[in-house]
Structure 1
Amino acid sequence: MVDIDPPKRKAAGPPAVVSSFKHGLGEMGVARTGRVFAALNQDGGFDCPSCAWPDPHGKDKHHAEFCENGAKAVAWEATRKRVPRSFFAEHSIDQLNEISEYELGRLGRITEPMYLREGATHYEPIGWDEAFRVVGRHLKGLERREDAVFYTSGRTSNEAAFLYQLFVRAYGTNNLPDCSNMCHESSGTALTRVIGSGKGAVTLDMLEEAELIVVVGQNPGTNAPRMLSHLEVARRNGSTIVAVNPLPEPGLMNFKNPQRAAGWVGKGTPLAEQHLQIRIGGDQALFLAVGHLLLKAEAAAPGTVVDQAFIADHTSGFEAYAEHVAELDWPTIEQATGLNRAEIERFARRFIDSKATVIAWAMGLTQHREAVATITEVVNVLLLQGNIGKPGAGPCPVRGHSNVQGDRSMGIWEKMPDVFLDRLETEFSFIAPRKHGVDAAETVHKLRDGSVRVFVGMGGNFAMATPDTPVVHAGLRKCDLTVQVSTKLNRSHTVTGREALILPTLGRTDRDVTEMGVQAVSVEDSQGAVHLSTGKLQPPAADLRSEIGIVCGIAEATVPEVGEIPWSDFARDYSLIRHRIGRVADGYENYDERVSVKGGFLLAHAARDRREFRTSDARAQFSTNELRWLDVPPGRLLLQTMRSHDQFNTTIYGYEDRYRGVHGTRQVVFVNPEDLAELGLSDGQTVDIVSEFAGVERRANAFRIVSYPTARGCAAAYYPETNVLMSADDLAKGSKTPVAKGLTIRLQPS
């Protein structure tokens, strides 16, 4: 039953604990739940397959080191439910495609490889060796290697990711799109250009030491709930926290920490002291204004605001930047941000008063057309006060998927630098392709053009994660072969090529045992810490393969003669993979030895550790950007797509968005009540959402309006249901991330 309540003003507390165990007990039972939760994010246990938030070390680690959404993720994976071969025999591919994304995920773990033959209506069981031969036959039969695309999810371990990219390059292409293309590519592009590394430059200790923490375009209460514990510590240490977001999010209002007694019976901890309810797409203007105000304050009291020594010793481009922001058109700034000048000046005063500032962000910044420019404006503000490479300060992009950062370190990128490819060639004695491959958006273009013959998905749900959903589905159906390496069913298994394979794999929670004994894999978190992950549960089936075993099997069937690559040895002993990674990947020297130490190790970061900037001029670079913001015609709104509290990426755990008060449905669009009155619409009304881009309209049908205190002129709705409104041609400048924030829409009564 659909029910809409007022939004909450507090996050976590007893409801989060109840929800965690409800999901755990419902999917796993009592004993299994206890075993899984006790090992989650613990030394010697397994890494959470959900977000990439880092684990604390030593005495700071709790016995229950997980959040509500982490509990949902492991319950979803470690479920006792199974999808038997009889299910596939009873359901045709057309019938499978009628099952909702939510219900597909609830069916349980896949236990054996399944094959959809050309012209068949049903999947049927297939042996592993035969399945690998099918993949090899198709790949070897392609005249052009670039007609195959190899997608990667951020769940993939370092070892599997390294072997996957090795196989793809041994095959002869760099077509390695990944989920980072659709989320934090803008962060990597901007940060690499201006500080010399695409990774964040803040550790947990640094976050907790900050005097000011600005959380921009991020909802940690749902997307990285364990971050709230560290924000609470920072708050107790005296930090000021500011939230910048079009929607008020309860996780940044008040946190009831279930690890503490006050989180159960007390009032909780107020976190953000100021909430800037920014208009979608106004962040660039906001940070431009902050830079202007900081320089104005420095001019009024020289030597008190700006770190002149840092600027002189470590940066370039300051003079051009200072000239660029010297004059400000305040009416434009107010119109672009939806904020008044007094609010922005109060915000800037917090920077002036802080000697150590962290700015954290997520996809509320990265999925805009001007995302790269916006993030460089954020860095400009940090550079003005020397807020990088010192305690309590720095840029902190909060990655979404558990090992998306590690995958990139391992070479999952369509344009890896030559130095990496040179090492790969030396290590494995083959010629790596140098022509850049396709990213996620370019893959959609190739699918649209019908030029993808083989599509391989290493995890994830490409059919639902990308823009232009109908175009992607039509393109996948034109493929000769689609291959999905997965733990459970999703839409990518029902939208298939003329032939299709489902290759079921072990999950993070499963024990991985080869003839060499119990194996562990490793991951790199959002702040560059690397550690081992060892599954604890009996796998769903005795013959289930790991991602590593699957990659090695496909490679042996496809490129056995290329280079000197001991695929079968790698499949038996993962430490052999780590030794090779240590000779190829930056920062991973002596990898197997270092990661085997309790707690793992922290990767070096030149900008964070030594204020060394590996940019084009060996300095941190100020940027000057033309101010751009989103203007829309009358009768239109700006839409941001977002997660509910009951999902992780495209995985739907349920129909509850407890914090926003939405129960029993996902087909809702959140709109400010004043905008509703202006548009002649009402709360509870059913509308179609129609997006407008480059003269083309796209439509998502039958959404219930929810009157909600979002920013004026702005609306919000859940993805993947609203990915149909996104265009694969509407991309962030510089990073080519598909634009999911700032879509021009109108609401049309159904």
Structure 2
Amino acid sequence: SPDEAAFYTSGKVPNEPAFLFQLFAKQFGTNNLPDCSNMCHESSGAALSPTLGLGKGSVTLNDIHEAEVILIIGQNPGTNHPRMLTALQQAKRNGAKIISVNPLIEAGLNHFKNPQDFMNPLRALGVLLGDGTPITDLFLQVRVDGDMGLLRGIMKHLFEAEDRNPGQVVDRAFIDEFTVGFESFEQNIRNTKWEDIEELSGISRALLLEASNMLATKQKIITCWAMGVTQQRQGVQTIQEIVNLHLLKGAIGKPGAGTCPVRGHSNVQGDRTMGVWEQPTKEFQDSLGKEFNFQPPYEHGYDVVESIKKMYHGELKVYFGLGGNLLAAGPDTEVIAAGMRKQNLTVYVGTKLNRGHLTTGKTSLLLPCFTHADIDMQKAGHQMTSCENSMGVVSQNKGVLVPLPGHDILSEVAILAGSGT
């Protein structure tokens, strides 16, 4: 059965091979398309799509530069997204206030020395002798899994501030025009007891008031989050509270304001846009089938966790991995390895050898491919690929390095196109 195969995708895979890969799997007859999104921002999409109608970020880098207040929740830019520090530095220079929420204080969020400033004669000496740009104005060391309580505490303070200054804090015009269910939401927040908020969040009422005061009169607000939020048991509900905070302030759909789930791999967002998803919509499948003249499967497939379970119990027979290393990225290395060894066939397409490639089924194919830095020259000319970042911006990539001579290495696109013939 086609459903005895799983097709795993890494977020490092560009749009073009990702599209071919999901098409290959669906023409094979299955929606078993586990990918690394299942392990990182799946809860972001699940929270954002039904509330905002957009399962990805709603801001750009320019919005970060323009923001008046930026909340960073469950994310360590200095460790995991270092290029973001440059955008935060620019926001600070433009006058933004930054609230950081994390159980541990991240050094990069305290002060940031931009290496590029050493090339600027007006800043080099200050960077060399000084402490760098202060990033965080207020650091809230929340309890693990306590972000929902923290967000509710901030919003409870905002409602109390609105009571004292009617029409100055809550954006009623925005709420009336663009939202539903506000009355029940307001009642729920007001009925939440302060002692419960402090117990859940680990943050005092006074500190939550300080955070609320930074937001009260502002509308250019951006909230950034990563896996410190998404991998909580109540990650979806917590992200929905982030959305509620933005709707309460009317802080979305305008310059300098919006939601910003910060992703990791270069194209983890693009892969999902290309159709790499175990739960495709009927509309997407209908369009795909019409364009390529085949009957696509409509039954939902297996995500990463379900695929691992099925492999371990011998219910999957074929594993096809496009990039990445599920063995290392997955939640239980030993269970994944045991499942891989039970496969009749494992296929790996990769730019470099990793441990996962050495954990094989009864038959295994290891297909080396070009890196994204290699020149892919075909009859039609110099080939390009594209990636979509966390903010929905699609960028082009063309390799610049001459591939090693004497090796019959193909691009991911060429391998997949050849596999489908």
Q: Compute the TM-score of the two structures, normalised by the length of structure 2.
A: 0.96
Tell me, in whole angstroms, the C-alpha distance in 2 between the residues paired with 1:355 and 1:415. 35
SS at match of 2:137: strand
Aligned to 1:186: 43
1:550 partnered with 2:407 = no
Between the aligned residues of both structures, percent identity stands at: 49
Aligned to 2:390: 526
Aligned to 1:51: none
Q: Within 5 Å, give how 1:173-212 maps onto structure 2.
A: 173-212=30-69
Residues 395-429 of structure 1 show CA distances to partners (whole Å, capped at 9, x for unaligned) of 10001110011111110001111111111111111
Tell me, in whole angstroms, the C-alpha distance in 1 between the residues paired with 2:278 and 2:244. 29
The one of 162, 170, 173 aligned to 2:27: 170
Shift, 1:530, TM fit: 0.9
1:367 partnered with 2:224 = no
Aligned to 1:311: 175
1:459 partnered with 2:323 = yes
SS at match of 1:247: coil
Q: Residue 13 of structure 2 aligns to which amino acid in structure 1?
A: T
Shift, 1:223, TM fit: 1.1
C-alpha contact 1:460 1:486 (8 A) present in aligned 2? yes
C-alpha contact 1:218 1:364 (8 A) present in aligned 2? yes
Residues 657-716 of structure 1 show CA distances to partners (whole Å, capped at 9, x for unaligned) of xxxxxxxxxxxxxxxxxxxxxxxxxxxxxxxxxxxxxxxxxxxxxxxxxxxxxxxxxxxx
Aligned to 1:414: 278
Tell me, in whole angstroms, the C-alpha distance in 2 between the residues paired with 1:167 and 1:218. 35
Q: Residue 388 of structure 1 aligns to which amino acid in structure 2?
A: I
SS at match of 1:470: helix
The one of 282, 288, 306 aligned to 1:424: 288
Tell me, in whole angstroms, the C-alpha distance in 2 between the residues paired with 1:267 and 1:401. 30
1:535 partnered with 2:392 = no
Q: Within 5 Å, give how 1:157-556 maps onto structure 2.
A: 157-260=14-117, 261=124, 262-541=126-405, 542-556=407-421
Greater alpha carbon shift after TM alignment, 261-270 vs 468-477: 261-270
More helix by share: 2
Size of the aligned set, in residue pairs, is 413
Residues 373-408 of structure 1 show CA distances to partners (whole Å, capped at 9, x for unaligned) of 000011111110100011111110001110011111
C-alpha contact 1:292 1:327 (8 A) present in aligned 2? no
1:146 partnered with 2:34 = no
C-alpha contact 1:258 1:264 (8 A) present in aligned 2? no
Q: Residue 258 of structure 1 aligns to which amino acid in structure 2?
A: P
Aligned to 2:120: none
Shift, 1:265, TM fit: 4.2
C-alpha contact 2:158 2:216 (8 A) present in aligned 1? yes
Tell me, in whole angstroms, the C-alpha distance in 1 between the residues paired with 2:265 and 2:93. 28
C-alpha contact 2:153 2:205 (8 A) present in aligned 1? no
Residues 232-274 of structure 1 show CA distances to partners (whole Å, capped at 9, x for unaligned) of 1110111001110111111111010111124344431001011
Tell me, in whole angstroms, the C-alpha distance in 1 between the residues paired with 2:127 and 2:281. 48
C-alpha contact 2:168 2:217 (8 A) present in aligned 1? no
C-alpha contact 1:505 1:545 (8 A) present in aligned 2? yes
Tell me, in whole angstroms, the C-alpha distance in 1 between the residues paired with 2:50 and 2:381. 44
Residues 340-396 of structure 1 show CA distances to partners (whole Å, capped at 9, x for unaligned) of 111111111111132311000011100111000000011111110100011111110
Instruction: Check 1:278–1:540 CA distance in 2 against 1; reply closer, same or farther (3 A cut).
Output: farther
Residues 253-305 of structure 1 show CA distances to partners (whole Å, capped at 9, x for unaligned) of 10101111243444310010111111110001111111211112112211000
Residues 311-348 of structure 1 show CA distances to partners (whole Å, capped at 9, x for unaligned) of 00000110110111112222222222122111111111
Q: Within 5 Å, give how 1:20-59 maps onto structure 2.
A: none
SS at match of 1:388: coil
Shift, 1:166, TM fit: 0.8
Shift, 1:211, TM fit: 0.4
Tell me, in whole angstroms, the C-alpha distance in 2 between the residues paired with 1:448 and 1:274. 46
Tell me, in whole angstroms, the C-alpha distance in 2 between the residues paired with 1:267 and 1:442. 48
Shift, 1:539, TM fit: 1.6
> What RMSD over aligned residues (CA atoms) do the two structures have, in Å?
1.1
C-alpha contact 1:447 1:476 (8 A) present in aligned 2? yes
Residues 412-453 of structure 1 show CA distances to partners (whole Å, capped at 9, x for unaligned) of 001111111111111111111111111111111212221110
Tell me, in whole angstroms, the C-alpha distance in 1 between the residues paired with 2:193 and 2:213. 19
SS at match of 1:243: strand
Tell me, in whole angstroms, the C-alpha distance in 2 between the residues paired with 1:412 and 1:204. 26
Tell me, in whole angstroms, the C-alpha distance in 1 between the residues paired with 2:331 and 2:113. 36
Q: Residue 404 of structure 2 aligns to which amino acid in structure 1?
A: P
Higher relative contact order, chain-length normalized (CA < 8 Å, sep 6+): 2
Residues 479-520 of structure 1 show CA distances to partners (whole Å, capped at 9, x for unaligned) of 001111111111211211111111101111111111222111
Q: Residue 426 of structure 1 aligns to which amino acid in structure 2?
A: K
Tell me, in whole angstroms, the C-alpha distance in 2 between the residues paired with 1:434 and 1:281. 35
C-alpha contact 2:57 2:259 (8 A) present in aligned 1? yes
C-alpha contact 1:241 1:271 (8 A) present in aligned 2? yes
SS at match of 2:387: strand
C-alpha contact 1:182 1:440 (8 A) present in aligned 2? yes
SS at match of 2:209: helix
C-alpha contact 1:257 1:264 (8 A) present in aligned 2? no
Tell me, in whole angstroms, the C-alpha distance in 1 between the residues paired with 2:388 and 2:380. 24
Q: Residue 554 of structure 1 aligns to which amino acid in structure 2?
A: S
Regions of 4+ moved over 3 Å:
262-266
C-alpha contact 1:203 1:527 (8 A) present in aligned 2? yes
Tell me, in whole angstroms, the C-alpha distance in 2 between the residues paired with 1:280 and 1:312. 35
- Give ranges in structure 2 of 5+ residues lacking alignment: 118-123
More strand by share: 1
Q: Which structure has the bigger radius of gyration?
A: 1
Residues 620-649 of structure 1 show CA distances to partners (whole Å, capped at 9, x for unaligned) of xxxxxxxxxxxxxxxxxxxxxxxxxxxxxx
Residues 522-576 of structure 1 show CA distances to partners (whole Å, capped at 9, x for unaligned) of 11111111121001111235411110011112111xxxxxxxxxxxxxxxxxxxx
Q: Residue 264 of structure 2 aligns to which amino acid in structure 1?
A: G
Q: Residue 424 of structure 1 aligns to which amino acid in structure 2?
A: L
Residues 87-106 of structure 1 show CA distances to partners (whole Å, capped at 9, x for unaligned) of xxxxxxxxxxxxxxxxxxxx
Aligned to 1:610: none
SS at match of 2:263: coil
